[in-house]
A and B are shown apart, each in its own frame.
Chain A
Amino acid sequence: MSDSNTTVIARKPSAAVSTGKLRVAFAGNPNSGKSTLINAIAGTRLHVGNWPGVTVEMKEASFTHNGHRIDLVDLPGTYSLSPYSQEEVIAADYLAKEKPDVIVNVVDATNLERNLYLTVQLLELGIPTVIALNIHDEAEKKGYRIDTKGIEKSLGVTVVATSAVRKTGLDELLDAVVSTADDPERHKPHDVSYGPDIDQAANNVLERLGSELAPVPDEYPLRWLAIRLVEQDERISGLFDERTVRIVQDATEHLRSAHGSDLESLVADARYAVANGVAHQVLKKPATAKVELTEKIDSVVLNRFWGIPIFLAAMWFLFKLTFDISTPFMDWMDTVIGVVSAWAGAGLAAIGASEWISSLVIDGIIAGVGTVFVFLPIILAMMFFVTLLEGTGYMARAAFIMDRAMRSIGLHGKSFIPLLMGFGCNVPSIYATRTLENPKDKVLTALLVPYMSCGARLPVYVLFTAAFFATNQGTVLWSLYVLGIVVAMIMGLIFKRTLFRGEPAPAFVMELPPYRMPSFKSLMIHTWEKGRHFVVKAGTWILLASIVVWVLYSLPWGAEKHDTLLGRTGQAVAPVLAPLGFGDWQAGASLVTGVVAKEVVVSTMGEIYAPAAVGEEPAEEEAVPTFGEGVTEIATGLVTAVGDSAMGVLSSVGITSIAVEEPGDDGLLGSLKGTFSPLSAFAFMVFVLLYVPCMIVLVAMRQEFGSWKWAGVSVATTFAAAWVVTFIVYQGGSLLGIGV
């Protein structure tokens, strides 16, 4: 991770000070309540985006406080400013290069010493700093007495006690920020001393660099640079030429001879010594600590025997809840789209639009936009629960419980939840990989998510099992889900040995934060931002893909199905699929449209397998609802959805949540029976299970990983896996004479 790219943050420092704008950066440990605090301060004015070039979340907000314009930036939560994680590099670079007017350091009052370790590093930058002594209410409840004046005296910064949950200290914090910025000289933090040896070495480095005219990148604060050079921060050393590195080596000779060559540990020790000193001085803990709630909960949920059953039950319940809540709204979205399509059709007919234009608008554009919105409820529901799991601290416990099992296929304990959620819908699973810290873990998890058989694949299984395996539908279904998991495990092992070969396993070392209830507002803001992002960022791509599929499906206009672009594509891919047992163009064409969303395979098959039986005419013309009728339908639909969703929360057992519509199309069942054998039908289901993720998943991957690269890898590897596994199933079955 020692990425020598120093231009992660390319933004130029704005002329903020002169225009009266204050640039304020919030820095703090993960789990320090920083997000909640910022949500309480900035609320809906928060804008959530990504740091340039990386998939680390960046929050910004602009607002006025007492006539002062404040531009707030939330830095990623970090324990340190070391150069070993993306988050740390971003935070360090932003602070050192952009030099905000004021740093607000959010410190968890219940965990003072470790939080002050970051504070000490922030003070090295020499930027005016205000400490938000957060979660102050909880610390008081624990009987902690913290002498804020004492911290101010020893560090030279203003300290404000805050509680984001009780909304106390928020105004005072902003007041302190403004008055600090008004008089930066008076509020300059003390130069933290790391003892005579380290201080001397840092001074030596500065002097030698100055006297030997070594080129020093001038955007960095000098003392900060010197200390980073002393502790051999690889990324900072990498900014200098060899001569300078030698000069630094010379200048730290004394330190090395006195304390050994491990200057990294020496400086870390010194920083902790300062943090420890301050914490000791200002913190009074009660003599006997109460057994804390966190410990009580953990003694149950992390229990050797019950830990796993409780975990699995909780996950299953959450999974069910997610789908029970969102499915009615997804159905409702379908209703809305149906009404809007009907209106659009009538409107287009009224203005005399040609048939192909109205087809493009309805089947291409509205259907595409519709796809985006149909996915919205489940994405919101799932992001809500994932945020809740993280906010409460249970996500870390889930990782603790599952890590051993997940590691055997090269994953991290936190990979489990995105993968589990994948059985419902792969799309939010891709977004949920964000809970993983390490980029390698994120990518690997995202690459395995598509093997989890999502709800959209179920209609295909239902159709085929109804046609071929009516007597043992359950067993066949079950075998497909298991096959997906087995293939994911094999692919995990393959990826571990190929794509990520030679890369050291990322460190696990993870805090188990105390359980806390995140504020509802904070949860809602986070969930809403995810949904908004999906609509805005992914929406465009999904719309584009939907139009492309429409073009394939409909052009040349009026052609027989066989001769459309889709038909021809089906013919082109047929030879590739022939060894798998389904080499006709219809199967190929259905699979091509299935890239939009897997359940589309069924509707395409309905249209191209049984044309004569059903009749080519676009069914009976549905009566176009009047405006009033349409609105009524949408409104009652919404009421029903809210009702069903509430019922979904209540009903807690049974797998009925994933709505499965029985294919009522006897014509299609008949043609399938004429075309497929039981073996090739099973092979087809296996292929649908494994072959390329739907385009929405691919768009989500692009969004999460910043380029099409991993989406491309995913297409290539899933397709290869699908082909090989289906080949083995079909050819093996043929050889053994099963179901031919």
Chain B
Amino acid sequence: MDLSMLKPGNRARITSIGVAGPLKRRLMDMGVLVGEEIKLVKIAPLGDPVEVDIKSYRLSLRKSEAQAIGVEVLDV
């Protein structure tokens, strides 16, 4: 299960981050860390990117970036 599969409103916990290099660093700096709780808030009108809530702020990610973030859903 990865972040891009969540539906708006779903909460999940990050289990893995499958990227390396600058993108990984950027994600870490923005607080996207393994073990962190994340909520999918919105999907952009054209279907991509997505908006998530993490560390009580709003972050947007492209679906391709969200696919690299493994999650387990907390509630549906």
Contact = CB atoms under 8 A, between A and B. Distances in A.
Contacts of B60: 396, 399-400, 508-512
A308 B47 CA distance: 12
Interface string A436-474: 000000000000000000000000000000000000000
Contact of A511 (B27, B28, B49, B58): B58
Given A304-B45, A405-B46, A511-B57, A400 B51 contact: yes
Contacts of A507: 22-23, 26-27, 65
Contacts of A114: 30-31, 55, 57
B71 to A, nearest CB: 16
Interface in B3-20: 17
B33 interface: yes
B73 interface: no
A10 interface: no
Interface stretch (A79-87, A214-222, A551-559, A590-598): A79-87
B61 A508 contact: yes
Given A508-B61, A512-B60, A113 B31 contact: yes
A625 interface: no
Contacts of B55: 113-114
Contacts of B26: 82, 84, 507, 509
Nearest to B29: A80
A478 interface: no
Most B Cβ at <10 Å: residue of A80, A265, A509, A514: A509
Contact of B27 (A307, A413, A509, A514): A509
B35 to A, nearest CB: 8
Contacts of B17: 265
A117 interface: yes
Interface in B23-76: 23-31, 33-34, 42-49, 51, 55-62, 65
B65 A308 contact: no
A473 B42 CA distance: 44
Contacts of B33: 265, 268-269, 272
Contact of A265 (B34, B43, B65): B34
A404 interface: yes
Nearest to A299: B42
Contacts of A84: 22, 25-26
Nearest to B54: A114
B44 to A, nearest CB: 5
Contacts of A504: 21-23
A401 interface: yes
A80 to B, nearest CB: 4
A98 interface: no
A509 B33 CA distance: 14
Contacts of B46: 308, 401, 403-405
A586 to B, nearest CB: 47
Contacts of B49: 400, 403-404, 413, 508
Contacts of B43: 304
B57 to A, nearest CB: 5
Contact of B45 (A79, A111, A401, A511): A401
A311 to B, nearest CB: 8
B44 A302 contact: yes
Contacts of A511: 30, 57-60
B31 A302 contact: no
A384 to B, nearest CB: 26
A508 B65 contact: yes
A111 B25 contact: no
B33 to A, nearest CB: 6
Contacts of B62: 403, 407, 508
B25 to A, nearest CB: 5
Nearest to B50: A400
B28 A265 contact: yes
Contact of A509 (B21, B44, B65): B65
Contacts of B34: 265, 269
A323 B21 CA distance: 44
Nearest to B62: A508
A269 B27 CA distance: 12
A303 interface: yes
Interface of A: 1-2, 79-80, 82, 84, 111, 113-114, 117, 264-265, 268-269, 272, 294, 298, 302-305, 307-308, 396, 399-401, 403-405, 407, 413, 504, 507-514
Given A265-B34, A400-B60, A403-B48, 12 more contacts: A111-B56, A111-B57, A268-B28, A269-B33, A294-B58, A400-B49, A403-B62, A404-B47, A413-B49, A509-B23, A510-B59, A512-B58
14 contacts: A113-B55, A114-B30, A114-B31, A264-B24, A265-B17, A265-B34, A307-B45, A400-B44, A401-B45, A401-B46, A404-B49, A405-B46, A413-B49, A504-B22
Sorted nearest first, the 9 A-B pairs with minimum C-beta distance are A404-B46, A80-B29, A512-B58, A307-B45, A268-B28, A508-B62, A84-B22, A404-B48, A507-B23
Interface of B: 17, 21-31, 33-34, 42-49, 51, 55-62, 65
